[in-house]
Amino acid sequence: MLPIGPLMIEHRLIERMIKVMNSHVGQIEKQRKADLLFVDTAVDFIRTYADRCHHGKEEDILFRDLKTKNIAEEHSRVMEELLEEHRKGRRVTGRLVEAKEKYVQGNQEALGDILECLKTLVDFYPKHIEKEDRHFFLPIMSYFSKEEKDAMLKEGYEFDQRLIHERYQNIVAQYEKAAF
């Protein structure tokens, strides 16, 4: 199995969440009211699953190892574009959190910012995923030996195992700080 297999499987779940987010955009526009629980859920999904888990493996394993190779200029350019797109996703998600906080504080104009951020993410992720799936992942695998691919795959599984522990250790630590 190629190390991109799990990454492409993760793409399918991200695409499903983006469809759910798009449905919520329609509901927010119709009702002129934000579902705060859903906004929190969307932020958590994007930050934890799409960015920390998925983009984390891309950046910390695949791109790291790819940078040690003598790759074609086109592949190098696409990798830099993907890294910038990851940063864009983080910025938009951060703005979504800020807009939600303003909305919670009673600023009704923040609803427009919530919608704008959600729409940006709904538009952004399918294009980003298509670029990775169709124009990057498959061609770059030729730079790696079977042993290197296997090592990246193993490291990806270990990355996932650490992530869940890190997430919940941070949650407990936050609550411990708040209690004392």
Q: Can you give the residue ranges of every domain in the chain?
A: 4-179
Look over the chain and give the mean of its residue pLDDT values, rounded to a whole number.
92
User: What pTM did the predictor assign?
Assistant: 0.89
Encode pLDDT of 58-98 as tens digits.
Answer: 999 999 999 999 999 999 999 999 999 999 999 999 999 99
Structure-model confidence comparison of residues 139 and 164, the more confident one: 139
Residue 2: is its pLDDT beyond 60?
no
| Alpha carbon distance 34, 150 (integer Å) | 44
Residue 180 is predicted with a pLDDT of 58
**Mean per-residue pLDDT, 25-31:** 96
Q: Which of 55-64, 84-93, 118-127, 159-168 has the lowest mean pLDDT?
A: 159-168
How much of the chain exceeds pLDDT 70, in percent? 97
**Mean per-residue pLDDT, 118-142:** 95
Residue 79 is predicted with a pLDDT of 97
Architecture per CATH, domain 4-179, reads as Up-down Bundle (1.20)
How much of the chain exceeds pLDDT 90, in percent? 80
